[in-house]
């Protein structure tokens, strides 16, 4: 493999459209891996263990913590979420881009540990549209929706920690902007330098 992959972190208030964009990106791009987090929250309808999250109970989460098994973890929306260790480095060394879907504190911690990580923040157009999307998704209780809306302002205030800001008003333009970040990273000098040497060697 010629070049190493990059680490991308996507954050946004819950309901802003992260999962929607991520799903589409995986249909479009190859050599991309999703970092499946561990969580103590219960699966939503349609979520699959090992694909969307590793759904574990509190005792298993405590056990992983005791074994120092997380790169970072957080308690948010009354549940715990954590990124498992070891796997990210292996993926990027094998030329895969790795995408993490993290709230803002976790994103900051990843940037501290992997300074080259590319941080992307997805913005909803307004508080009202975020509320409508959370209700429209129809998969959280009203209590959970309120908890998520309360945390949204804290998340939005962290926008300055990010390298890219994508406004998700019109889904199609948001997706094109989002995808272009991944596509252009693949033509960065550090990613193509070895291939250039091979071209030069033919002259
Ligand atoms: P997140 O993963 O950030 O919590 P989702 O991807 O589940 O958010 O999106 C929340 C809801 O908003 C879903 O029902 C999704 O279909 C809808 N949605 C996403 N983007 C848009 C958009 N640009 N316009 C309208 N609805 C959207
Ligand atoms: P949800 O319950 O809606 O799937 O996710 C709740 C929030 O937790 C989202 O903002 C998501 O980005 C974040 N999240 C998911 N996994 C992790 C993780 O491993 N670490 C951190 N810090 N945040 C996570």
pLDDT string in tens for the chain (203-residue length): 457 999 999 999 999 999 999 999 999 999 999 999 999 999 998 999 999 999 999 999 999 999 999 999 999 989 999 999 878 989 999 999 999 999 999 999 999 999 999 999 999 999 999 999 999 999 889 999 999 999 999 999 999 999 999 999 999 999 999 999 999 999 999 999 999 999 999 99
Residue 76 within a domain: no
76 lines ligand 2 (CB under 6 A): yes
Residue 44 within a domain: no
171 lines ligand 1 (CB under 6 A): yes
Residue 133 within a domain: yes
Cβ-contact 155, 103 below 8 angstroms: yes
Residue 179 within a domain: yes
Cβ-contact 112, 25 below 8 angstroms: no
Residue 108 within a domain: yes
The domain spanning residue 191 has which CATH number? Answer: 3.40.50.300
Neighbours of 81 (CB within 10 A): 22
pLDDT of residue 49: 97
Nearest-angstrom CA–CA distance, 104 and 120 = 10
Q: 30 is written with which tokens?
A: 């190859």
Nearest-angstrom CA–CA distance, 94 and 147 = 39
Name which of 23, 55, 18 is nearest 36 in CA terms. Answer: 55
Residue 2 within a domain: no
Q: 31 is written with which tokens?
A: 């050599």
- Rounded distance from Cα 29 to ligand 2 centre (Å): 23
89 lines ligand 2 (CB under 6 A): no
Residue nearest to atom 4 of ligand 1 (CA): 15
For the chain, give the number of residues.
203
Buried b (16+ CB within 10 A) or exposed e, 5-40: bbbbbbbbbbbbbbbbbbeebeeeeeebbbbbbbbb
* Owning domain of residue 106: 7-35+96-200
Residue 71 within a domain: no
The total number of structural domains that make up the chain: 1
> pTM above 0.75?
yes
Residue 28 within a domain: yes
């Amino acid at each position: 493999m010629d070049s190493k992959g990059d680490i991308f972190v996507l954050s946004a208030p819950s309901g802003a459209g992260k999962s929607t964009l991520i799903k589409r990106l995986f249909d479009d791009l190859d050599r991309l891996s999703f970092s499946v987090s561990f969580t103590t929250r219960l699966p939503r309808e349609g979520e699959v263990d090992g694909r969307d999250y590793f759904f574990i109970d509190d005792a298993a989460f405590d056990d992983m913590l005791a074994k120092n098994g997380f790169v970072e973890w957080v308690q948010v929306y009354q549940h715990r979420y954590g990124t498992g260790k070891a796997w990210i480095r292996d993926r990027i060394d094998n030329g895969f881009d790795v995408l993490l879907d993290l709230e803002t504190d976790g994103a900051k911690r990843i940037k501290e540990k992997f300074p080259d990580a590319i941080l992307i923040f997805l913005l909803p157009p307004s508080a009202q549209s975020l509320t409508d999307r959370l209700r429209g998704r129809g998969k959280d209780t009203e209590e959970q929706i309120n908890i998520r809306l309360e945390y949204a302002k804290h998340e939005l205030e962290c926008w300055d920690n990010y390298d890219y800001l994508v406004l998700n008003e019109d889904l199609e333009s948001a997706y094109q902007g989002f995808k272009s970040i991944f596509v252009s990273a693949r033509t960065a000098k550090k990613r193509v330098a070895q291939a250039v040497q091979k071209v030069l060697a033919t002259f």
